[in-house]
Every structure is written in C-alpha cells, then in structure tokens.
Amino acid sequence: MIKADFFSKRPPLTLFEEWQIKNGLNRFLRPKDVAIKERLDNLHYKNAKHILDFGCADGVWLERILRSTKSAGVGVDIAVDLIKVAIDRKDRRGVYYDSGKTWPVKDNSIDFCFSFDVFEHLRNRQAEIDKLSRSIKKGGKILIFTLNPNNKFTFDWLFESFGSDWLYKRADHLKSRFVSPQNLAMELEKNDFKDISFELYPGPLNLILDVFCYAYLKIIEKIFHNKSNWILDLNSRYIRFIYRLNLKFDKMVNAKGYSNGYFLWAEKK
C-alpha cells in the first residue's frame, strides 16, 4: 500500500463524525452516503456476523455501519495515527488494527468486507486481494468503491486538462494505479470471487454536489459546532431528494463509461 504516514498527516476529509456515527446509515451528509447505503442494503450487509473495513482510516464508516447491525466489526489500516484515533474513540464497537507489517485478520473469518477509496492507492493490488480472499468466508461478500481511470468530466480530469496534478498529489492519487472495473473484476475472479458486478458512480452532478456539501457543512461546523443537528437533519432530507434528480443526468454520462469512480461487488466462491 502507500506509505503508512501519508494519511496520518493528511487524513481523509470528514465532518461531524460524532453525528455520523450516532445516526449510522439513517442520515446523510452527502450524496455518496446515499449511494453507499443503497448498495449495502442490496448486499444484505445486516446478515453478516463479522464485517471487515479494509482501509478503515479512523473508523467512521465501520462505526456507522455497526450502528445498524448486531455484527462484530474489524477495521484495518496502515495509517497508525488514524488507527489510534479509532481505538481511542468513545463507545466504539469496532476492533482496529495496524496492518502495515502483519495481516491481523484470520482466514475464513469475514462474512462481509467493504473498502471505500482505498484500491486507487494500492502499490501491490494483487497481494492485497490475496489477503482479502483468504480472510473472506465462502459465500461472503465484498463491496469496493474506487476511482475510475476513465474519469472525464471530473475535477481530476479538469485539473489534468490544465496540466496540473495538484489534486492527484493532494490525495496521493497516481493514475497508473487506477484500475478499470473490468480489470478489477478479472483480478477478483482469479482469486475465487464470483457473481461480480459493478456500477459507475458518480457522474458530474453528484460529484459537484458532494464537494459543495463539504464546503457549506464545513462553514456550518465552524459556526454552530455541535449545535447544528437540526441543520444536518434538514441537509439529510435535501441530499436524499437531490441525489435522485442528479442520477438521471449522471447516468447519461455514466452510460458513456465516464465517472469519478465505481462500486464493484462480488461473492467468495
């Protein structure tokens, strides 16, 4: 994977973590939250006894998901400082491990694995897929979100068009590590996964909305701090509504193979 200290120094952008964890998957900060919730539901994630978050950062997504289940959860990441944040979080339900040197997950122990915004960083993707394949039980499922190399009409593409790689560097994105959904599907199939499907997401409108949400919620966070629950609840309803409207346009762009990223899911043979 990437250098262990990169995201310790540049953690993923996130907001209102306590509110997110408290509300689990019942409230949304941004359109991508809605998209993730829908795909988790389609894969019946609540039936899993043991859930793995591969590349968990400080554990916000695992904690959100565990709030909606009776499952046990494990999060792994190589960013030591972020793992410490996850471990020190009050009332956490997940168990967290630094996976930089040794793989802490037992073979055939996981019913459901998810990995969001991780695969585009992997230096040796095959080695990481091997670990996941060993850890997931027969019949277990995996859900991945990663970036699409065919990323026309996205912010990365826009900066790239002007000859700048600033956005790539800010997030440690090397386009040479991006993998198409077709190629990732073949790699998983070679590692005993079946029933592999993918869906491109997001197109430009939901991507713009995602960035816009972060900007105005950041302002709200600074002004209202922890007294903004009613604003966040209103925002959640707005996001749920506008997300579906945006999908109608975005799907026309996605139909041409363009997107910022994609979801891919599969079952272990």
Helices (H) and strands (E) in the chain, counts: 11, 7
Q: Is residue 119 part of a domain?
A: yes
Q: Which residues touch 256 (CB under 8 Å, ≥6 apart)? A: none
**Residue with token string 């916000």:** 60
Q: Is residue 1 part of a domain?
A: no
pTM > 0.85: yes
Q: Is residue 196 part of a domain?
A: yes
Q: What is the CATH number of the domain that holds 25?
A: 3.40.50.150
Q: Is residue 249 part of a domain?
A: yes
The answer to whether residues 21 and 60 touch, using CB atoms and an 8 Å cutoff, is yes
The number of folded domains in the chain is 1
Task: Please report the pLDDT score of residue 1 as a whole number.
Answer: 46
Sheet (strand 261-268) strand order: 95-98, 72-77, 50-54, 110-116, 136-147, 261-268, 193-201
Owning domain of residue 22: 6-268
Per-residue pLDDT of the chain (269 residues; tens, 9 = 90+): 455 567 777 777 789 999 999 999 999 999 999 999 999 999 999 999 999 999 999 999 999 999 989 999 999 999 999 999 999 999 999 999 999 889 999 999 999 999 999 999 998 999 999 999 999 999 999 999 999 999 998 888 888 888 887 777 777 777 889 999 999 999 999 999 999 999 999 999 999 999 999 999 999 998 887 778 899 999 999 999 999 999 999 999 999 999 999 999 999 99
Q: Is residue 215 part of a domain?
A: yes
Q: Is residue 227 part of a domain?
A: yes
- Rounded to whole angstroms, the Cα distance separating 66 from 92 reads 9
